[in-house]
Amino acid sequence: METSSLTWLAADYHFPATYSCRVPMSSQNCARVCPSPGPATVRLALIRASIEVFGLPYVERVLFPHIRAMSVQVRPPECVAISTQVLRAYKVEDATETLIEAPVSREMAHAEGPTTIYLEVPLSLREPFSQVLSMIGYWGQASGLAWCQSIQIEAPRPEQCVRPLRLFPEQVPARPFFSCILSEFRDTEVAWEEVMPVISTRHKNPLRLDVYIWPLALLQEQGSGKLYRRTPFER
């Protein structure tokens, strides 16, 4: 694995309409959403987009060892509104394992301002990772269209980024902030075969779950919607 010095890339994503990144473990029939993608979603999106740009062999050999191990930080949009929508969807019936049509409830988010994804990448791979970041076209569901409007070299400000609860000092009150479970890669040694869904053999679960806190405070509740505004954590 390439181990030259590291640099931070910051990619801003514009959400032109609604999007829906489901909270892990929430029911598909009554899905809660988080205000922006979590770290495992970012890593999986990087794998998917890099296969499109560079092809499978290069990604497996060159980029994947970095994708599974790199530091990922996520800064949510300035404002996020979340509403519940009733939609008609196909779901898998437990008994017969066939698809049936049913009404489902799913939260949808609308954002003001970009969400920023920060990646710490080797200097020598700055260009390929910039290209991959620019190719990510949605977050969550495919209908959650997103467009990468700029990429800069910029380090994250930790007080503005999503953080696992266990990293909070004991005295900081986490209560006014949005919180939910998010998934992250199990460790930095997750194997390629564990994350590629096209391979049918069973492997260990490559993901682990953790409670995360978002620097987003509830501003108001109205009708079926909730509005959150970015509020940095105390340093």
Partner 1 sequence: MTDTMDSDAGVVALEIVDHAIKDGDATKKQFPPHIYELSINVRATWQAQSTSNAGSNGSNRLMPRRQCLADSTETDACSGNIAKHAHAQLAAEYLEAAGCSLCPACKARDGRRAAALTDQPDTKNLSIEWIVRNCGLCDTHGFLVTAKNASSDGSTEARQRLSKHSLIEFSFALALPERHAETIQVVTRMGDSKDEGQMLMKMTARSGEYAYCVRYKCAGIGLDTDKWRLILADEEERGRRHRAMLLALRDGLLSPQGALTATMLPHLTGLKGVIVVCPSTGRAPIYSALQDDWISRLCALESETCIVAPFETIDTFNLLMQDLIEDTHPALPAACQRSSESSVGAGNARDQLA
Q: List residues near partner 1 by CB under 8 A.
A: 12, 14-18, 51-56, 77-83, 85-90, 92, 97-99, 101, 103, 108, 110-114, 134-138, 142-143, 145, 147-150, 197-198, 200, 219-220, 222-227
- The distance of closest approach from Cβ of residue 180 to partner 1 in the complex, given in angstroms and rounded to an integer, is 18
For partner 1, which is the closer residue by CB, 29 or 222?
222
Which residues, listed in sequence order, are joined to residue 226 by a DSSP beta bridge?
82, 221
Per the CB < 8 A criterion, the answer to whether 152 and 116 are in contact is: no
Cα–Cα distance list, 63 to 20, 142, 162, 208 (Å):
27, 24, 24, 22
- The distance of closest approach from Cβ of residue 166 to partner 1 in the complex, given in angstroms and rounded to an integer, is 30
CA of residue 211 relative to chain centroid, distance: 14
Q: H/E element holding 11? A: strand 6-14
For partner 1, which is the closer residue by CB, 173 or 223?
223
User: Which residues make Cβ contacts (< 8 Å) with residue 62, sequence separation at least 6?
Assistant: 2, 54, 125, 128
- The distance of closest approach from Cβ of residue 127 to partner 1 in the complex, given in angstroms and rounded to an integer, is 14
- The distance of closest approach from Cβ of residue 75 to partner 1 in the complex, given in angstroms and rounded to an integer, is 11
CA–CA dist 80, 165 (Å, integer): 21
For partner 1, which is the closer residue by CB, 1 or 142?
142
- The distance of closest approach from Cβ of residue 114 to partner 1 in the complex, given in angstroms and rounded to an integer, is 6
For partner 1, which is the closer residue by CB, 40 or 47?
47
How would you classify residue 107: left for phi > 0, otherwise alpha for psi between -120 and 50, otherwise beta?
beta
For partner 1, which is the closer residue by CB, 5 or 198?
198
